């Protein structure tokens, strides 16, 4: 097996993302690996068959990217001390745009990622039915091992704290 030097963790800024980022930081620290936190802004083109937005699409996408980058910067700053204590080699963050699973997979190949750590749950309800599970797609198509974390398994989370 290849040595783990680079880990990618997709985040969505939810409460679950906090727990998954902490777990990824802990794992990266154990390996002395770099941690890449990424957020993917879904393309509006994926929704074009459902509605016509009343605003200028390029301006809206630009504002979403700008807002996402600000949230990512705040997210990383908030976790900086945790990552330092865990011994993470370096922390990088990136906001991407496109199909979520495709962008995760593409970025993993681009940086020669050795491990992807991600949550098993993100989309819910109709969105999950329409777009499928991002985690499923990543697990089935990744160029490296994928560790998934079920954020709703509180018993496991409590066991890991001790």
pLDDT in tens, the chain (162 residues): 679 999 999 998 888 899 999 999 999 999 999 999 999 998 766 555 555 555 566 677 788 899 999 999 999 999 999 999 999 989 999 999 999 999 999 999 999 999 999 998 654 544 444 445 888 999 999 999 999 998 776 655 555 665
In a domain, residue 117? The reply is yes
In a domain, residue 10? The reply is yes
Q: What angle do CA 139, 141, 146 make, to 5 degrees?
A: 35
- Alpha-helical (H) ranges within 32-133 are 57-86, 100-110, 125-131
Q: What angle do CA 120, 125, 129 make, to 5 degrees?
A: 80
In a domain, residue 1? The reply is no
The rounded distance, in Å, linking the Cα atoms of 10 and 17 is: 8
CATH number at residue 51: 3.40.50.620
Q: Give me the domain span that covers residue 22.
A: 6-161
The rounded distance, in Å, linking the Cα atoms of 161 and 139 is: 26
Q: Total domain count for the chain?
A: 1
In a domain, residue 64? The reply is yes
């Amino acid at each position: 097996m290849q040595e783990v030097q680079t880990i990618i963790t997709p985040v969505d800024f939810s409460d679950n993302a906090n727990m998954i980022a902490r777990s990824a930081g802990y794992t990266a620290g154990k390996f002395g690996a770099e941690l890449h936190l990424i957020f993917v802004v879904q393309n509006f083109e994926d929704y074009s068959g459902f509605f016509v937005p009343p605003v200028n699409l390029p301006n809206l996408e630009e504002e979403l990217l700008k807002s996402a980058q600000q949230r990512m910067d705040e997210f990383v700053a908030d976790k900086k001390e945790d990552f330092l204590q865990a011994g993470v080699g370096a922390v990088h963050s990136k906001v991407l745009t496109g199909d979520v699973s495709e962008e995760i997979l593409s970025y993993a190949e681009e940086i020669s990622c050795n491990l992807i750590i991600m949550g098993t749950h993100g989309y819910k309800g109709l969105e999950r039915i329409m777009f499928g599970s991002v985690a499923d797609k990543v697990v089935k198509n990744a160029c490296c091992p994928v560790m998934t974390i079920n954020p709703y398994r509180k018993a496991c989370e409590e066991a890991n704290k001790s």
